[in-house]
């Protein structure tokens, strides 16, 4: 990644407020930052910090109360639900803590689900799904259903599914949360390798030992960004600062 790498995401003074007058909850209060193409970013915070709300906004699963959201230089703040869904399906590859796999469906068929919705021909669906599973080390588990796979293997299937449409961003929500420590280390290696290959990875976590494996850490507490730092050399030193 270079100093001139493209800005994928820019949030400007984002607020998310639930409830009405007298009973308002500020889930986000003034969140402002940019994420460039090719970054590996961890967003860390305790339960109730606002990190899940932030993930939902970044991933087009929710909208802002006020502020502006720019995605690839387009202001998407006022997009309709259908317009947001279109961006989400094309540009975001989700990886969840609970894997979200179809229980009686093989690894290949779980991975090909996004391609079915995209109208990709059957043979191409299968071929691409097999390649995606090979890329995460599951070439010998293609026809296994989830209960025949370990937790780490199930998460690899979920990562392969997230990659299948070649999204702009991999958005992972507590991806090691249901794994033992050895499997968690293996999954983080996969994310690191994907980032080394040029994928933009955004990781949501409450675990400091997971967050420090990213190249940049954004910390959130009580709905506010309290710190935004790179691990080691910053490719965007003018953009990174402690938030007072």
Q: 159-182 pLDDT, tens per residue?
A: 999 999 999 999 999 999 989 889
pLDDT tens per residue, range 94-140? 999 889 999 999 999 999 999 998 899 999 999 999 999 999 999 99
Q: Which of 194, 87, 221 is nearest to 136 (CA)?
A: 194
Dist CA 5 CA 83 (whole Å): 26
Tokens 């299968």 identify what position?
126
User: Where exactly are the structural domains of the chain?
Assistant: 7-231
Dist CA 136 CA 154 (whole Å): 11
- In the chain, what percentage of residues exceed pLDDT 70? 93
Note the pLDDT of residue 20.
Answer: 79
Tokens 């259908």 identify what position?
82
pLDDT tens per residue, range 104-117? 999 999 999 999 98
Q: Are 59 and 171 in contact (CB under 8 A)?
A: yes
Q: Are strands 7-18 and 25-36 parallel, antiparallel or unpaired?
A: antiparallel
Is the pLDDT at 73 greater than 50? The verdict is yes
- Which residues touch 24 (CB under 8 Å, ≥6 apart)? 17, 18
- Which of 40-44, 70-74, 235-239 is the least confident region? 235-239
Grade residue 63 by pLDDT with cuts at 50, 70 and 90. Answer: very high
Q: How confident is the model over 143-148, as a mean pLDDT?
A: 97
Dist CA 141 CA 138 (whole Å): 5
Q: How confident is the model over 2-27, as a mean pLDDT?
A: 87
Phi then psi for residue 87, to 5 deg, are: -65, -45
Note the pLDDT of residue 234.
Answer: 41
Dist CA 79 CA 65 (whole Å): 13
Is the pLDDT at 21 greater than 60? The verdict is yes
> Which two tokens mark 79?
């997009």
Q: Which fold has domain 7-231?
A: Rossmann fold (3.40.50)
> Which two tokens mark 107?
């690894």
Specify the pTM.
0.89
Q: Is 208 exposed, middle or buried (0-12, 13-18, 19+ CB in 10 A)?
A: exposed
Q: Are 90 and 84 in contact (CB under 8 A)?
A: no
């Amino acid at each position: 990644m270079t100093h001139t790498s493209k800005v994928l995401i820019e949030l400007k003074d984002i607020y998310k407020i639930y409830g009405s007058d007298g009973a308002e909850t500020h889930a986000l209060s003034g969140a402002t930052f940019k994420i460039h193409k090719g970054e590996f970013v961890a967003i860390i915070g305790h339960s109730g910090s606002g990190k899940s709300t932030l993930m939902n906004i970044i991933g087009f699963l929710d909208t802002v109360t006020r502020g502006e959201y720019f995605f690839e230089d387009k202001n998407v703040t006022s997009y309709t639900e259908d317009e947001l869904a279109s961006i989400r399906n094309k540009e975001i590859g989700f990886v969840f803590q609970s894997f979200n796999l179809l229980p009686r469906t093989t690894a290949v068929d779980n991975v090909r689900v996004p391609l079915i919705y995209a109208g990709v021909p059957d043979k191409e669906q299968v071929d691409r799904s097999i390649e995606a599973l090979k890329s995460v080390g599951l070439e010998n588990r293609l026809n296994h259903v989830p209960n025949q796979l370990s937790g780490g293997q199930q998460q690899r299937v979920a990562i392969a599914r997230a990659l299948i449409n070649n999204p702009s961003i991999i958005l992972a929500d507590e991806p090691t949360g249901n794994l033992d420590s050895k499997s968690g280390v293996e999954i983080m290696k996969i994310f690191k390798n994907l980032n080394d290959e040029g994928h933009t990875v955004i990781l949501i976590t409450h675990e400091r030992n997971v967050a420090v494996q990213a190249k940049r850490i954004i910390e959130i507490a009580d709905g506010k960004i309290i710190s935004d730092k790179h691990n080691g050399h910053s490719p965007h030193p003018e953009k990174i600062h402690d938030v007072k």
